[in-house]
Amino acid sequence: MSMDVNWSIIIVKSSIFALKMSKELLQHIHNPKDLRKLKPKQLPQLAKELRQFIITIVAAKEGHLGASLGVVELTIALHYIFDTPSDLLVWDVGHQAYGHKILTGRKEIFDTNRQLGGLSGFPKRSESEYDAFGVGHSSTSISAALGMAIASQLKGETKKQHIAVIGDASIASGMAFEGLNHAGVTDANLLIILNDNAMGIDPSVGALKNYLTNIKKDKRARKHNIIEALNFDYSGPIDGHDLPKLMAELIRLKTIKGPKFLHIITTKGKGLQKAEENQVKYHAPGRFDAKTGDLLPKEALNQPPKYQDVFGLTLVELAKKNKKIIGITPAMPTGSSLKFMLEEIPDRAFDVGIAEQHAVTLAAGMATQKMIPFCTIYSTFLQRAYDQVIHDVVLQKLPVIFCLDRAGLVGEDGATHHGVFDISFLRCIPNLIVFAPMNEIELRNIMYTAQLGLDFPIAIRYPRGRGVNLNWQQPFKKLEIGKGQILKEGSKIAILSIGAIGNTVVQAYEGLEERETVAHYNMRFIKPLDKELLHTVFQKFDTILTIENGTIVGGFGTAILEFAQDNYYHNKTIKRLGVPDRFIEHGSVKELHQQIKLDKKSIRRTIEELFLQKPPLNSKNS
């Protein structure tokens, strides 16, 4: 029996015990109408039970823990005081919405959270009428709730309430300020609740964070309150874990017209000591003991490194030798592993908060002064700074180095977080190099090559998860821009892969009887394409398969089709594999690759059935 199975038994036993101890009130709550039948004096007990329920499920099934534990009292108060779903409640980002889901009809299936076919890890309109707005990325709640409030006004629904719950890290983002700026000149029935715990995923940063800290320390700092200056009725700060005080203030705010702002102070991870003490780790801790909070030990394996750590450690290695290198991340120092540079070279590493647009243009400004900025952003979050990439960086040919972590399917976070569009939206931009390393060594070498000096900006996309090489810290080699690599000769079919999915391709054809007929090319560069290599491929092969971990619409495969068309390569069979033209939901990366036929077995079948003319496998063997 594996260690995983042993720990599962321990988790289940402790979970059963914990759930038996916590079902006195919560077991009778199926929706907010049931919640409102309770007496106010019963709500603190419900808060304990709800908190324990979240701990128990997340301990066994994994997920986002700390944020939801911190807003248990707020969640209960909101659904108790307001008439949800008629009153509209918007959670910013959604990491903190587990309690909301449990109280709104999803308790019995909450153990499917973030699993294939189960509940989404974020509020989702198609999942429940209580999820007023779908979220996943930050700082959208104020604009969305304001839009709802103005719409209600226009429809004459003057008594309808509209609430946005936003964290102190998210409110520092530009879009949140745009929403505040507009809301302040309306008379919309809008309540913004600032959940101030001094944390995002990592600790909050910036001048606004310092300002909020001063308000918490000394209410006299309210004298020149920035929120009141924007024409909001400001109240607070109050203890967000004090249910009676919180409910009394919400009842009062219901009677006030126009834009309102409630500042509450909470503790991320509240109720689980380990989560309170290590808030970064327990944001999404993996499996742990529900009783003690201790993280469960993982099997000691000699594994290849995570791509994010290859990036982070390589950047430090390069920056120690090249004093012009700068590291920039918008609020993801841990997730991107820029933390290594922040620790070792803090004067040249910057966490700018949840501010992707600012991060990109900050990098552009540094590049004008001959610095070498490495701007590391999750692929899905670069979508938020598309104009800055074009207008501020590429149009001016500023050699910013974009390192796009979490490119491709990312797993349990689902559609809001998959990084599948970057190839398509980047390759259409002139003067931009787009590269996808097949492994850790290629990632190191392209980072080394980029910091030597390029005439254009470059985007380097790499996936979530681990690489394939244990001995990855090889001496650096300069890569030639726009040059691919032949990995294997063949006689009948050419496979063109881009990025780390190429390792799955190797596994797929290694199991073929006719493996000698398959040629494999690691193209490396999406832009510029290696046209010399492509001419060789098209002159030799009539059957070509392209494979990418990105959308098939406008992606790498489309670039190959365009090449064939532009160069009059007719009568060729070109098959594209990639992410289909639909939003992919949540599940493990392995499950999702199987679902869209990007796993080893499916790729092998594609080769056999379509190109080697083997009969389709029957259902018994599939």
CB atoms within 10 A of CB 482: 16
297 part of a folded domain: no
Average pLDDT over residues 12-34: 71
Closest Cα partner for 575 from 597, 560, 588? 560
Distance CA 475, CA 106 (A): 53
Looking at per-residue pLDDT, the higher value among 6 and 124 belongs to 124
Q: Which of 283, 298, 325 is the last residue of a domain?
A: 283
At 239-292, the pLDDT tens digits run 999 999 999 999 999 999 999 999 999 999 999 999 999 999 999 999 999 999
492 and 599 in a single domain? The answer is yes
In a domain, 388, yes or no: yes
Among 70-84, 205-219, 470-484, the range scoring the smallest mean pLDDT is 205-219
Residue 412 shares a structural domain with residue 500: no
Cα distance between residue 489 and residue 30, in whole Å: 61
Question: What is the DSSP code (8-state) at residue 582?
Answer: S
pLDDT score for 511? 82
Round the CA-based radius of gyration of the chain to a whole number and report it.
26
Distance CA 479, CA 490 (A): 25
CA neighbours closer than 13 Å in the CB half-sphere of residue 525: 19
258 with 311, same domain: the answer is: no
Mean pLDDT of 432-454: 98
Catalytic residue positions, numbered: 268, 356, 384
Residue 467 inside a domain? The answer is no
The dihedral formed by the CA atoms of 123, 97, 113 and 54, expressed in degrees to the nearest 10 = -170
Q: What is the mean pLDDT of residues 409-413?
A: 96
Are residues 531 and 456 both part of a single domain? no
Give the per-residue pLDDT at 259: 97
**Token couple for 400:** 């910013």
The number of angstroms, rounded, from the C-alpha of 368 to the middle of its chain's C-alpha atoms is 30
The SS3 of residue 190 is strand
Residue predicted with more confidence, 150 or 197: 150
Measured distance CA(93)–CA(533) in Å, rounded: 44
Give the separation between CA 434 and CA 211, rounded to whole angstroms. Answer: 40
DSSP-assigned beta bridge partners for residue 194: 166, 263
Here the contacts of 18-21 (C-beta below 8 Å, separation 24 or greater) are 18/52, 18/55, 18/56, 18/290, 18/291, 19/53, 19/56, 21/52
Domain final position from 225, 251, 283: 283
Q: What is the mean pLDDT of residues 380-396?
A: 98
Q: Is 199 exposed, middle or buried (0-12, 13-18, 19+ CB in 10 A)?
A: buried
163 in the same domain as 35: yes
Same domain, 230 and 262: yes
Model confidence band, residue 3 (pLDDT cutoffs 50, 70, 90): very low
Sign of CA dihedral 385, 387, 392, 395: positive
Question: What are residue 429's phi and psi, to 5 degrees?
Answer: -95, 125
pLDDT class of 223 with cuts at 50, 70, 90? low
Give the predicted TM-score (pTM) of the model. Answer: 0.91
pLDDT tens digit sequence for 38-59? 999 999 999 999 999 999 999 9
Beta bridge partners of 327: 349, 374
Give residue 550's pLDDT.
98
Instruction: Show the 3-state SS of 277-305.
Output: HCCCHHHCCCCECCCCCCECCCCCCCCCC
374 vs 366: CA distance, rounded Å: 10
Q: Does residue 189 carry a pLDDT above 50?
A: yes
| pLDDT at residue 85, as a whole number | 97
Closest CA relative to residue 611, chosen from 561, 543, 548, 560: 543
Phi and psi (nearest 5°) for 598?
-110, 15
> Could you tell me if 31 and 20 are in contact, meaning their C-beta atoms sit under 8 angstroms apart?
no
pLDDT tens-digit map of 103-150: 999 999 999 999 999 999 999 999 999 999 999 999 999 999 999 999
| Count of residues making up the chain | 622
Sign of the C-alpha dihedral computed for residues 382, 385, 391 and 397 taken in this order: negative
Condensed to tens digits (0 to 9), the pLDDT of residues 476-524 reads 999 999 999 999 999 999 999 999 999 999 999 998 888 899 999 999 9
Percent of the chain having pLDDT more than 70?
Answer: 93
Crossing angle of helices 3-21 and 43-61, in 10° steps, is 170
Q: What is the pLDDT of residue 314?
A: 98
Residue 283 token pair: 């944001």
pLDDT band at 298; cut points 50, 70, 90: confident
| 219: pLDDT strictly greater than 70 | no
Q: Which of 450, 323, 324, 456 is nearest to 399 (CA)?
A: 456
Q: What percent of the chain has pLDDT over 90?
A: 86
Same domain, 598 and 454: no
Establish if 466 belongs to a structural domain: no
The β-bridge partners of 403 are: 376, 460
Convert 358-390 to b/e letters by CB count within 10 Å (16 or more is b). bbbbbbbebbeeebbbbbbbbbbbbbbbbebbb
Residue 454 in tokens: 């390029």
- ∠246-252-255 over CA atoms, to 5°? 145
Distance between CA atoms of residues 530 and 561, nearest Å: 14
Q: How many CB atoms lie within 10 A of CB 28?
A: 12
Mean pLDDT of the chain: 92
Q: Do 259 and 162 form a contact (C-beta atoms < 8 A)? A: no
Instruction: Domain of residue 243: give its range.
Output: 3-283
Supply the DSSP symbol for 119.
Answer: -
The Cα 408–Cα 421 span in angstroms is 8
Q: Give CA separation, 621 vs 418, 601, 605, in Å.
A: 31, 11, 11
Q: What pLDDT shows up at residue 210?
A: 82
Quote the distance between the C-alpha of residue 562 and its chain's center: 31
Q: Is residue 189 part of a domain?
A: yes
Which tens digit of pLDDT belongs to each residue from 306-330? 999 999 999 999 999 999 999 999 9
Write the pLDDT tens digit of every residue in 336-364: 999 999 999 999 999 999 999 999 999 99
Rounded distance, CA 420 to CA 335, Å?
18
> Would you say residue 520 lies in a domain?
yes
- Judge contact between 199 and 331, C-beta under 8 A: no
- Predicted pLDDT at 343: 97
Per DSSP, the residues of 14-72 read: HHHHHHHHT-TTGGG-SSHHHHTTS-GGGHHHHHHHHHHHHHHHHHHH----HHHHHTH
End-to-end Cα, the chain, rounded Å: 28
Tell whether 232 and 322 lie within a shared domain: no
**What is the rounded distance in angstroms from the CA atom of residue 215 to the CA atom of residue 213?**
5
The enclosing domain of 277 has a CATH number of 3.40.50.970
Q: Is the pLDDT of residue 397 over 70?
A: yes
Q: Are residues 165 and 244 in the same domain?
A: yes
- Same domain flag for 176 and 241: yes
Query: Pick from 142, 162, 177: which is nearest to 257 by CA?
Result: 162
Q: 190: buried, middle or exposed (CB in 10 Å: 19+, 13-18, 0-12)? A: buried
444 and 547 share a domain?
A: no
Determine, yes or no, domain membership for 300.
no
Answer yes or no: do 605 and 513 share one domain: yes
Per-residue pLDDT band at 205 (split at 50, 70, 90): confident
Instruction: Indicate whether 4 pLDDT > 50.
Output: no
Distance separating alpha carbons of residues 165 and 90, to the nearest angstrom: 6
DSSP state of 169: T
- Which is nearest to 352 in space by CA: 369, 372, 329, 335? 329
Q: What CATH number has the domain bearing residue 520?
A: 3.40.50.920
Closest CA to 480 of 522, 520, 445: 445
pLDDT at 121: 95
Count the domains in the chain. 3
Amino acid sitting at position 250: L
**Residue 478 lies inside a defined structural domain of this protein:** no
Residue 33, CA distances (Å) to 79, 80, 409 in order: 9, 8, 38
Q: What are the tokens at 42?
A: 């019963």
Region 392-417: mean pLDDT is 97
